[in-house]
Amino acid sequence: MVTIREIARAVGVSSGTVSRVLNYDPSLSISEPKRKAIIETAEALNYETPRNRNRHRLGSLRSATRMPALPQLATVHFLEADEELIDPYYIGVRLGIERRCRLFDTEIVKVFHADLAASAALLESMAGVIVIGKHRSADIEFIASHSAHTVFADFVPKREDFDCVFSDLGAATRTILDGLKQAGYQRIAFIGAHDRIDEPSQPYSEIRCRTYVDWQKANGTFDPALIALNDDCNNGQNLKLEVGYEQARALLSHDIRPDVILTANDNIAIGTARAALEAGLSIPDDIAIASYNDIPVAQFLNPALSTMKIPGEAIGETAVDLLIERINGREDYAKRVTIPTTMIWRDSCRHPKTC
């Protein structure tokens, strides 16, 4: 079995460089000829990533146990195609779904939000549908009325008769805030977005923001001036670098700036870091940053980003498992599966003290 070290030796680069190229790390700076040489060498030597080796092992297990192939499934995404491409977290959710479906020799048909209204016949022809991200109640009812089985990934619908898989962002937020407090931070700011799903007039309704507000009030430190919410984001999601950049500039322009900024995802954190550096501030000495998701580039930033790891691929895989159970006859009850999160403390902020 060919190893990364053997590919690195053949091309004349480090093993770390080979690993980052083969895992499509967007932060890696490498010449195109060298990148091409690594990929072509890996292909010539029939290299398989550990993930693909595991997938083939599982495929052999499926064949050995004569696990039947499934008919086609569909995903309905709250993002549009171009928006998903710049959001590594949701790419991870989709990859988890696709990898799990390959185990069952089934194909996934992708439907993005803009095409939903024209997709009734398509959804009806599918064995089941995985709905990714937040959707309005009207969209949920439309999908359910045209789908034999419906499962939600990274979203908890109000109806309790649907299966769903998600991570508890409320608990994750409290973990981050408790850690920042223990690390000595007092003025903790938050950058996120309004949740415009079904209650547009309710303030601070997005779960990360709502938990932040509740935590600050419980600690007697709530200050609305420390909250910066964007109005243009899609239902509190699809939070981009530009959002972090603009909102961080506003927060950092205050006479008394925050000690640390908690951002609703890593893309916002990257934009926040740029705004801080342009303002002549050092991270984490002058301003610290913490975030959510742990996208691949987070560990390669300078300084590396402290972030709550939300396992998007595991959420995608579990959504497929739930859908298979439904297709195979589970009708009497719905399941709500919570995938645990893990806080990764890196150098963008001080670490909480450990016992």
For each of the chain's 355 residues, which pLDDT tens digit applies? Answer: 567 887 887 788 888 888 888 776 767 778 877 878 887 777 767 676 555 554 454 444 444 444 445 569 999 998 888 787 778 899 899 999 999 998 888 889 999 988 999 999 999 999 999 999 999 999 999 999 999 999 999 999 989 999 999 999 999 999 999 999 999 999 999 999 887 676 655 778 899 999 999 999 999 999 999 999 987 544 444 456 888 899 999 999 999 999 999 999 999 999 999 999 999 999 999 999 999 999 988 999 999 999 999 999 999 999 999 999 999 999 999 999 999 999 999 999 999 986 4
Strand ranges inside the chain, DSSP E: 73-77, 108-112, 129-132, 150-153, 163-166, 188-193, 227-230, 260-263, 288-293, 306-309, 336-338, 342-344
Please tell me the distance from the alpha carbon of residue 112 to that of residue 116, in angstroms, as a whole number: 6
Are 284 and 347 in contact, with CB atoms under 8 Å apart? yes
Indicate the pTM of the whole model.
0.77
Are 353 and 288 in contact, with CB atoms under 8 Å apart? no
